[in-house]
Structure formats: structure tokens, C-alpha cells
Amino acid sequence: MNKILKIFTVLWLLAACIGTAEAKINMFPQPRYIPQLSIYDDNGNAYKLTEFKSDLLMAVVWSRTCGPCLKDLKHLGRFVRKTMGKGIEVILISPDNEWKSAAEKRAFLKRLGADNMVSYNDRKSNFRGGMAIAVTPTAILVNKNGKEVGQITGSIDWEDQDVVDYMMKLKKEISEKLEQSEAADQQD
């Protein structure tokens, strides 16, 4: 019975991942506060998304059992190379129980060409659950003030030049809105 349950679970996960092939972009009208949930580096140090100070942080929640996630990781490595030093930071967040060791995860990411991003662990899926993420891959978009400005859910060809251009334009718009908001706050 336990073996049947495991097989059913794997099939259900595969079906869920296959169903997320097309990306959906959801930009919020106003930046939102992010729950103070921890993600962990390979040494067990805790971090929160609010601690990152890039113009645009893309925190990509993924799983090694999700086909679209693996496809995205191949493209994300190239996206990072194209946008490096331009204000966009990409980090990866995966369930900690998928890895026997940090070395196994690093080798896995290297095979996919995604070893140029920092990878964090989601202990007991507390981060994913706390952020109410139902589908992987999901990229949480965060401005430099540590507020969530949107999400991209599903698979996308990150190395496509139109996508790179869109993300650079989006980063600029997010930065400009933040500057305008800060200027308005100073006038009050």
C-alpha cells in the first residue's frame, strides 16, 4: 500500500509540474510586505528575502522533481550571465529534503548550467507554505526595499532576448516607482 501511495504521489507531482508549462506574470499594484520567513544556505545560516538589496531580486522556488523547473534552470543560468552587473539578482530556493548533501545539490545545478546562482534551502517547505506558493517554478520578485512587487509562475524561456529585455525594463520601472515613492515620502 505504501508503494502505491508513493507512485501516486510521484505521478501527481509530475502532472502538476507538466500543467505549469506557460508562465503567468502577476505584478502587484502596490508593493507588498513579505512574511519574515527564513531560507538557509548550505552552512545552515538563515536569511530573509528582505535582506537582499538588489534593484530586482528574483527568488526562484523550484523542485528537482518538476520538469518545467529543470528546463527553467538551464535558461536561468544563461539569463544570469546576460544580466550580471545590471541590478538583477537571481537566487534559487528548493526543498531541503530533496538533497542528501550540499555537494549533491551543487553538482546537480552544475549539470544544468545553473551553478552561477546562489541556492538556498527551504526547511520543511516552511518558506513555500508561508508564501502560499502552490506551483513550481515560481519567481518571487522583490524590490530593493524588500517588498514583493510580483510573481512569475510557470516556465519561461529566460534566455530569450525579449524576456531579458522585458525583465530589464521591469527592473527600471520598479526602481523608478520606488524612487518616486521615496521622494513623495520625503515631501510629506
Query: How many domains, the chain?
Result: 1
pLDDT in tens, 114-128: 999 999 999 999 999
pLDDT of residue 188: 67
* Residue 19 DSSP code: T
Relative to beta strand 24-33, strand 147-153 is: antiparallel
The answer for residues whose C-beta is within 8 angstroms of residue 23's C-beta and 6 or more apart is 152, 153, 154, 155, 156
pLDDT of residue 5: 40
- Domain with residue 24: its CATH number is 3.40.30.10
pLDDT in tens, 5-51: 444 444 344 444 444 457 899 999 999 999 999 999 999 999 999 99
- pTM for this model (two decimals): 0.85
| Backbone φ and ψ of 128, nearest 5° | -60, -45
Domain that holds residue 88: 2-187
Report the alpha-carbon distance of residue 164 to residue 166 in Å, rounded: 5
pLDDT in tens, 83-136: 999 999 999 999 999 999 999 999 999 999 999 999 999 999 999 999 999 999
Beta strands in the chain (DSSP E): 24-33, 39-40, 46-47, 56-61, 88-95, 118-122, 138-143, 147-153
Question: Which grid cell is 181?
Answer: 515613492
Q: Are 23 and 154 in contact (CB under 8 A)?
A: yes
